């Protein structure tokens, strides 16, 4: 009777195969192989442990479309420096947010309309504002133990993946770490840009210093719009309750309308200059149905911080910009730069009218304002591009306009309102 042949077990076959691989690698089977395999396993465990050790150094953060990559997702409590690098093709920002939620969970907070997270609902520790592609920035914050999310919250960026989780562990020396105080918001100065369309109003500033302020408006919609500046203790959303169900607009007798740009057509620029005192304002389009559809925005106005030193001014085609639009009364020096391509001048004029109201004084024939009608305090005569200019004047409290009155220049936009305040 033939004897049955005992089969080699699968386990033994696999082991033989493994020994063949080790032999090909130059390692004899047996103790040497076991030592090597043990070292490899220990190395793997070591790498896993090392990856959980929090860093105490700078965290490199690379931003691009559409991700944020940080060099360490764990750091010890204390000062944390982020070296930021925008490797994308569009501007990005970098917010450090304290939150118990993970970055993935915060996706649920993205608003379907604005396509971003309402930052009023976020505990923002600090931020690097928008910076351009190909540039770098450095942000240092003090962070206590906890969980954080770093993010770019520009419209659409978070939802597309621009976020990363960051865990902060105990301080190595055991000290209690207090976080960096939230930065105080900085109020804007100068003109405010505004765009109107169906169905929204967007303004370039939601926090602005008090004083004479011009809204430079664009109707980028497909129908006519208007622009009202309204002082209101109520927010724009709270005013929705004031929309009349019959007229589908707010009764303007109930509103404190400071001034307005009447209806203007698509593609036609609009403008309104007003004296804004500290307080809350709502800018709106109150044509029937427009407010309820979303054509409003809130604006907070805070007391001005008037300059006390020299004021820097730039002139170009076709604008005058200053680094301060208010100053304490007394001797004031305007340090000027002509950054345009043609000659300009710089007149300091006292006027009860705003700069935009003075546009009506431009003579249709000469295309300039008759200076006999102006209270010119002093001036920098025409000066060439690249050549510095200077004017030093003694100004009492009141409203002034700085301007270039060369033929056609004022009407093209070369003016700015300037307020002088009591010390």
Handedness of CA 280, 271, 327, 349 (dihedral sign): negative
What does the alpha-carbon distance between residue 405 and residue 320 come to, in Å, rounded to a whole number? 12
- Residue 38: per-residue pLDDT: 53
Same fold, 59-169 and 311-421: yes
pLDDT in tens, 231-259: 999 999 999 999 999 999 999 999 999 99
> Do 187 and 207 meet the contact criterion of CB atoms below 8 Å apart?
yes
For residue 146, pLDDT over 80 is answered with yes
pLDDT in tens, 370-402: 999 999 999 999 999 999 999 999 999 999 999
Predicted TM-score (pTM) above 0.85:
no
What does the alpha-carbon distance between residue 386 and residue 339 come to, in Å, rounded to a whole number? 6
Domain borders along the chain are 59-169, 192-302, 311-421
DSSP string, 45-77: HHHHHHHTSPB-SPEEEEEETTEEEES-SEEES
pLDDT in tens, 189-218: 999 999 999 999 999 999 999 999 999 999
For domain 59-169, which architecture applies?
Sandwich (2.60)
For domain 311-421, which architecture applies?
Sandwich (2.60)
Selecting from 3.30.43.10, 2.60.40.420, 3.20.20.70, 2.40.50.140, what CATH number does the domain 192-302 have? Answer: 2.60.40.420
For residue 37, pLDDT over 80 is answered with no
- Residue 120: per-residue pLDDT: 85
């Amino acid at each position: 009777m033939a004897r049955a042949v005992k089969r080699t077990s699968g386990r033994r076959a696999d082991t033989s195969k493994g020994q063949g691989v080790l032999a090909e690698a130059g390692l004899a089977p047996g103790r040497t192989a076991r030592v090597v395999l043990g070292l490899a396993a220990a190395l793997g465990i070591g790498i896993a442990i090392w990856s959980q050790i929090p860093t105490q150094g700078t965290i490199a953060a690379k931003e691009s479309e559409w991700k944020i990559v940080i060099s360490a997702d764990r750091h010890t409590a204390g000062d944390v420096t982020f070296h930021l690098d925008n490797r994308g093709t569009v501007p990005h920002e970098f917010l450090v947010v304290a939150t118990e939620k993970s970055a993935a969970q915060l996706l649920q907070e993205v608003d379907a309309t604005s396509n971003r997270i309402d930052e009023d609902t976020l505990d923002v520790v600090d931020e690097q504002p928008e910076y351009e592609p190909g540039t770098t920035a450095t942000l240092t914050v003090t962070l206590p133990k906890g969980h954080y999310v770093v993010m770019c919250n520009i419209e659409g960026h978070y939802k597309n993946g621009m976020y990363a989780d960051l865990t902060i562990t105990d301080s190595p020396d055991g000290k209690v770490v207090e976080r960096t105080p939230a930065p105080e918001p900085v109020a804007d100065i100068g003109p405010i840009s505004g765009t109107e369309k169906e169905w929204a109003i967007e303004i370039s500033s939601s926090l602005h210093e008090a004083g004479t302020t011009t809204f430079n408006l664009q109707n980028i919609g497909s129908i006519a719009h208007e622009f009202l500046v309204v002082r209101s203790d109520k927010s724009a959303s709270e005013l929705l309750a004031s929309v009349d169900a019959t007229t589908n607009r707010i009764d303007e007798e109930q509103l404190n309308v400071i001034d307005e740009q009447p209806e203007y057509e698509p593609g036609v620029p609009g403008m309104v200059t007003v004296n804004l005192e500290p307080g809350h304002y709502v800018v709106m389009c109150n044509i029937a149905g427009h407010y309820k559809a979303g054509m409003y925005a809130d604006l907070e106005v805070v007391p001005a911080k008037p300059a006390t030193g020299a004021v820097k001014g730039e002139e170009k085609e076709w604008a005058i910009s200053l680094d301060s639009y208010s100053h304490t009364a007394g001797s004031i020096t305007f340090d000027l730069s002509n950054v345009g391509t043609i000659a300009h001048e710089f007149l300091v004029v006292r006027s009860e009218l705003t700069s935009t109201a003075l546009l009506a004084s431009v003579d249709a024939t000469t295309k300039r304002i008759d200076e006999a009608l102006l209270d010119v305090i002093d001036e920098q005569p025409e000066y060439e591009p690249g050549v510095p200019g200077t004017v030093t004047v003694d100004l009492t409290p009141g409203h002034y306009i700085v301007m270039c009155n060369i033929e056609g220049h004022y009407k093209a936009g070369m003016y700015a309102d300037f307020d002088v305040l009591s010390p």
